[in-house]
Structure 1
Amino acid sequence: MTKKLIIKNVLLGFLSWLIPFAVSFLFYKPGGELVVPYATFKSVILLVGTISGCYLLYRYFKFVEHHFIKNGIMVGLSWLVLNIVLDTLILIPMMKSTFTAYFISIGLGYVAIPVISIAMGSILDNKLKKL
């Protein structure tokens, strides 16, 4: 992995966390009260995270020329860890939650990141082999 690709990985990974986090503020009143049912909020944020995450992975893979599956594994796992670390540092204290409660409610959903990135890497690898 080149230095340029590592930088893209970290920056895009940070955006994969920041975009849903920023959008989530649209659903809270200034006092911290949720303005929609929690299930709706959770569904919308999951959708925002999936759409933005797929787009960011697309942007990442535009710079990958080979070893697509390996890159899919690396980017997926690094974004998974980055998202959980940022949530642990910022979101869990804001929620006044325990790590276990957070992980069951939110963190487990981040497993989708490596699943999607590895799938993208596999598709690109198979496509390259057919050329």
Structure 2
Amino acid sequence: MNAASGVKLVGFGLLTWILPFLISIPLYSPEGEPLYDIFLVKSILLVFSAALGTFLILVYFRDVHARFIWEGALLGGVWLLINWVLDALILLPVSGMDAGTYMAEIGLRYLMIPIIAVGIGYAVEQAVRSATVRRTGV
């Protein structure tokens, strides 16, 4: 991995946390209470996060030319850690939530990141193999 890829990997990972956090601000009162039905708020944030993450994964893969599944796993692992660490540093102290409650209500949802990233990596790998077979006849 070159420096530019590393910057993109970490930078995009930070965006997967920062943008949903910014979107959530108008959905909560200054006291941290949801201004709308909590299930609506969580659904909005989950759908936005999934769309954003998928888009950023696809953009990241534009510069990947080999080892697609590995790149998906690497990206998924790095972004998962970024999101968990930022939540531990910022969200948990602000919310007063304990680690067990956090994992049950929020933390496990971040497993979507490596699942989607590896899935995209696998799909790209299969597409490249199919194209190679069609081109070479092997």
- 1:65: Cα distance to partner? 1.2
Which residue of structure 1 aligns with residue 91 of structure 2? 91
**Largest Rg, 1 or 2:** 2
- C-alpha separation in 2, matches of 1:115 and 1:62: 19
Could you tell me which amino acid in structure 1 is paired with residue 110 of structure 2? Y
CA positional deviation for 1:99: 1.1
Kept in 1: contact 2:16–2:52 (CA 8 A): yes
Q: Is residue 122 of structure 2 the alignment partner of residue 122 of structure 1?
A: yes
Counterpart residue number, 1:29? 29
The runs of at least 4 consecutive aligned structure 1 residues that moved more than 2 Å come to 29-33
* SS of residue matched to 2:111: helix
The share of aligned pairs that are identical, in percent, is: 34
Q: Distance in 1 between matches of 2:69 and 2:63?
A: 14
**Which stretches in structure 1 are left out of the alignment for 5+ residues?**
none
Provide TM-score, normalisation by structure 1.
0.96
1:80 and 1:101 map into 2 onto residues whose CA distance is: 18
Counterpart residue number, 2:107: 107
Q: Which position in structure 1 is the counterpart of 2:135? A: none
Residues 64-102 of structure 1: CA deviation (Å, up to 9, x unaligned): 111110000000011011100000000011101111111
Q: CA deviation at 1:28?
A: 1.5
Query: In the aligned structure 2, how far is the partner of 1:30 from the partner of 1:81?
Result: 28
- Does residue 36 of structure 2 align to residue 40 of structure 1? no
CA RMSD in angstroms comes to: 0.9
Kindly provide the amino acid, as one letter, of the partner of residue 126 in structure 1. Answer: Q
* Counterpart in the other structure of 2:62: 62
* Shift of residue 4, structure 1, vs aligned partner: 1.3
Q: How many pairs are equivalent? A: 131
TM-score, length of structure 2 as denominator length: 0.91
The alignment partner of 1:66 has SS state of coil
